[in-house]
């Protein structure tokens, strides 16, 4: 296997620092540095971009990002056992790599960074969706990040990129496609990780759009979509009954048949329906 940097192989790093993977922290490590370099190339040229990495672990993806030329990488890691291994990376890239120890759900790294900012992470499964939803629902748009390159279980990745008519289509698809371009950039088998997870994984690449695809107020779109998919098998006139007594009229005004189910309704029509609730 070809070298991507002068640091030791990840297996040696993990053995030397006794980094046995902990399930509670969602630890499935990537050990192939050629693979992590490929993931680091997905966002494109990062030489003028600061990168936030959540959960660097022993540093496989971190090394990919740095060797591929990211301007700076700021990593947030909850497991203090990983810090000595990450210190070795810092010694190799003293001006371009910084680690904050702590919980990514509680830390705001923005004060340390200069835009443009990309986020790239092999996310811990237990906090991955929560972080993604936070990044997709800031108070103002465009958000602080220009792109998100994130590893998920393949099933979650398919929910982010799903189109109407598929079982995977739902709230996550609407959320990620309303104000971003979302695509699956790579799929990985369980054997790519140590230890191997039970399921396949996929890297999703999301690029923030300068403005939403269709006008709607975020809280109204969120309310309509949450309710519609909460009872996804029901016709919309029944599923959305609690939102307004004249829901059938509002559906028709938005160009949606009241007998349709949420799964069939495209993003543009959900936005039109959300606008029916503006006062």
Among 46, 50, 65, 77, binds ligand SAM (CB under 6 A): 77
DSSP 212-267: -SS---HHHHHHHHHHHHHTTTSBHHHHTGGG-TTHHHHHHHTT--TT-BGGG--H
Beta pairing partners, 149? 120, 205
Segment interacting with ligand SAM (CB under 6 A) among 26-34, 133-141, 169-177, 252-260: 26-34
Secondary structure E strands in the chain: 29-30, 50-54, 72-77, 97-101, 117-122, 147-153, 180-188, 193-194, 201-208
Segment interacting with ligand SAM (CB under 6 A) among 21-29, 169-177, 226-234, 239-247: 21-29
> Can residue 98 be called a binding residue for ligand SAM (CB under 6 A)?
no
241: tokens are 């009954």
Q: Residue 108, Cα to own-chain centre: how many angstroms? A: 16
The residue with its CB nearest to ligand SAM is 55
Segment interacting with ligand SAM (CB under 6 A) among 54-62, 83-91, 178-186, 268-276: 54-62
Among 13, 35, 70, 76, binds ligand SAM (CB under 6 A): 76
Among 15, 105, 133, 226, binds ligand SAM (CB under 6 A): 105
Half-sphere exposure of 32 (CA within 13 A, CB side): 12
Among 7, 13, 30, 265, binds ligand SAM (CB under 6 A): 30
Site for ligand SAM in 121-140 (CB under 6 A): 122, 124, 127
Q: Are 53 and 120 in contact (CB under 8 A)?
A: yes
Binding residues (CB under 6 A) for ligand SAM: these are: 25-30, 54-57, 60-61, 76-79, 82, 103-105, 122, 124, 127
């Amino acid at each position: 296997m070809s070298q991507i940097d002068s640091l030791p192989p990840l297996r040696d790093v993990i053995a030397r620092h006794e980094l046995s993977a902990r399930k509670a922290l969602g630890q499935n490590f990537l050990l192939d540095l050629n693979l992590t370099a490929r993931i680091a190339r997905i966002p494109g040229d990062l030489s003028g971009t600061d990168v936030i990495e959540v959960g660097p672990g022993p540093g496989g993806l971190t090394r990919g990002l740095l060797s591929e030329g990211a301007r700076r990488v700021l990593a947030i890691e909850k497991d203090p056992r990983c810090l000595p291994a990450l210190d070795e990376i810092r010694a190799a890239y003293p001006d371009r790599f910084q680690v904050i120890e702590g919980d990514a759900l509680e830390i705001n790294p923005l004060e340390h960074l200069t835009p443009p900012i990309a986020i790239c992470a092999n996310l811990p499964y237990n906090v991955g969706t929560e972080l993604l939803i936070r990044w997709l629902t800031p108070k103002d748009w465009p958000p602080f990040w220009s792109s998100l390159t994130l590893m998920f279980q393949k099933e979650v990745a398919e929910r982010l990129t799903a189109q109407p008519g598929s079982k995977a289509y739902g709230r996550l698809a609407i959320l990620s496609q309303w104000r971003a371009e979302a695509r699956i950039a790579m799929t990985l088998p369980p054997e790519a990780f140590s230890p191997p997870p039970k399921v396949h994984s996929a890297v999703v690449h999301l690029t923030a759009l300068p403005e939403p695809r269709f006008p709607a107020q975020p809280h109204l779109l969120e309310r309509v979509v949450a309710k519609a998919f909460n009872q996804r098998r029901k016709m919309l006139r029944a599923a959305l009954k609690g939102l307004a007594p004249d829901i059938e009229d509002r559906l028709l005004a938005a160009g949606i048949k009241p007998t349709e189910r949420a799964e069939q309704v495209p993003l543009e029509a959900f936005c039109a329906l959300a606008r029916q609730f503006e006062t």
